[in-house]
Amino acid sequence: MKLRLILGDQLNHEHSWFAHVDSDTVFVMMEVRQETDYVLHHAQKIIAIFAAMRDFARRLREAGHRVHYLAIDDADNRQSVPGNLDYLLAHYQASDFAWQAPDEWRLDQQLAAYAAGLSIPAHMDDTEHFYTARDEAARIFEGRQNWLMEHFYRRMRSKHGVLMSATGKPAGGQWNFDHDNREAWDGMPWEPADIRFRHDHSALWRTIQASGAKSFGEPNAASSAWPLNHEEALEQLERFVELALPHFGRYQDAMSVKAWRLFHSLLSFAMNVKLLSPRTVVERVEAAWRDGAVPVESAEGYIRQIIGWREYVRGVYWHRMPGYDELNAFDHQTPLPWWFWDGKTRMRCLAAAIGQSLEHAHTHHINRLMVIGNFALLAGLSPQALHRWYLGIYIDAFEWVELPNTLGMSQFADGGQLATKPYVSSAAYIARMSDYCKGCHYDKKARLGERACPYNALYWDFFDRNRDQLQGNHRLGMVFQQLKRMDDGALTALRERAADLRGRVAEL
């Protein structure tokens, strides 16, 4: 008998493993405390992954495959991947074992070590999901100190012929329409209705709770909205293309208390657990542009996130692990304040972004980067604590994509391998791109005083504190010129205000 392991984020029904039914092959799937407990997770994340796994197993069986599924409350469940494999390999007297390449370092190491100790043949297969191999970005940038996403992205566009003209030129005459993607949203056009399905996972949620697995956030078990299978993910993609994609480009960076989804696709969960292939998504979006249904800046902006950022951060992850998770270029050590777990802060932007995250296990990119991450970096919060929080709270968080985004892009903790400058701003940016500052306890314009927006003093103090590390960065020339022009008294007052804020983040 051959044993084939399918992990919870490997729900790719198009995989060649499933091309033929073979009665000598048992597919093994398992819900284990090892995976619920390695970090404190949002309840919706545990529910959605288990529900999608159960649906996947059911469909495999319906297609005639043999499946051994260990549910979280199964008496035979040893609650760890190696423990269950020991049991199952013996149970089936297996003569051959294979697994699909894990996307996380931790599981990759665990399975490689496990397989090395087996006395039967064992091998790893590809997941057949990504555009790139694990080491493709590293090969593209071989010998270069600094990597650039834009360079990688253009290579991907040319290599895969995405949004390219017949003469090899980028569609629309430009590689990148980022400058057209920076509009604030004033309430029009309306945010489309929620494009997702509803499922009642109350029974599953009770089982998860009974297992003792800890979690946080709103479970929303009676009306869960994350896709369970390929068909639902495809339908969500269709609704996104029709209703939201036409506006995606313009409002990609907009934020609002009135609309948490705006024009985003909410497809990251489906893609990351492999219910949906990035190629399917990219081809559908490109077709919509070719049909004239969406403007080029929307199609390009969206496709850049997938064949650009998504593949690129994965390349950074595999190049820099192990050890990437320990980097802390600014030596920031402050623990996360409690309001990361209840959203109760007087800063309205953070209350909104964290509140959405607790309610939906999701908030869109610019909230993650320019509200939550921005504050964490300016306030000197520990990037490792922040990494664990992001990894736990978001429905789409798997370390290969979450860690480079949090540690690299958002916290600059890798000293600038992933981002060319720290993504920080004062209140002015947040006020320009959102309605968060209206009605906030703090004054977005003031730098000093009890009611001054904390982002303002923290912003100048961040560059002042890190002059040695950052002033050589040519993208920051303007900031350091402004700092230079500031008189000593003003700078001292900002330093004092920032030190006070950093000393009492829990009270803000």
Residues that bind ligand FAD (CB under 6 A): 264-268, 271-272, 302, 305-306, 309-310, 313, 364-365, 368-369, 373, 390, 394, 396-397, 401-402, 405-406, 409-410
Q: Give the Cα separation of 103 and 321 in Å (integer).
A: 12
Least distance from C-beta 215 to ligand FAD, angstroms?
17
Q: Is 193 left (phi over 0), alpha (psi -120 to 50) or beta?
A: beta
Least distance from C-beta 12 to ligand FAD, angstroms?
15
Distance between start and end Cα atoms, the chain: 60
Nearer Cβ to ligand FAD (69/404): 404
> Cis (ω within 30 of 0) for the bond into 189?
yes
Nearer Cβ to ligand FAD (122/316): 316
Burial readout 386-401 (b: 16 or more C-beta within 10 A, e: otherwise):
bbbbbbbbbbbbbbbb
Least distance from C-beta 161 to ligand FAD, angstroms?
20
Least distance from C-beta 411 to ligand FAD, angstroms?
8
The runs of H, that is alpha helices, within 68-160 are 81-91, 105-116, 136-140, 149-160
> Cis (ω within 30 of 0) for the bond into 192?
no
Contact criterion met (CB below 8 Å) for 315 and 132: yes
Nearer Cβ to ligand FAD (65/230): 230
Least distance from C-beta 218 to ligand FAD, angstroms?
18
Among 106, 6, 105, 15, which Cα is nearest to 49's? Answer: 6
Nearer Cβ to ligand FAD (55/399): 399
Nearer Cβ to ligand FAD (67/377): 377
Q: Give the Cα separation of 355 and 335 in Å (integer).
A: 19
Nearer Cβ to ligand FAD (305/420): 305
Least distance from C-beta 268 to ligand FAD, angstroms?
3
Nearer Cβ to ligand FAD (27/295): 295
Q: Give the Cα separation of 453 and 450 in Å (integer).
A: 9
Triad 241, 275, 56: Cα angle to 5°: 140
Q: Is 363 left (phi over 0), alpha (psi -120 to 50) or beta?
A: beta
Least distance from C-beta 169 to ligand FAD, angstroms?
24
Helix then strand count (H, E) for the chain reads 24, 7
Least distance from C-beta 421 to ligand FAD, angstroms?
14
Among 4, 50, 51, which Cα is nearest to 31's? Answer: 50
Least distance from C-beta 329 to ligand FAD, angstroms?
16
Nearer Cβ to ligand FAD (264/274): 264
Nearer Cβ to ligand FAD (225/401): 401
Are β-strands 41-42 and 66-70 bridged in parallel, bridged antiparallel, or unpaired?
unpaired
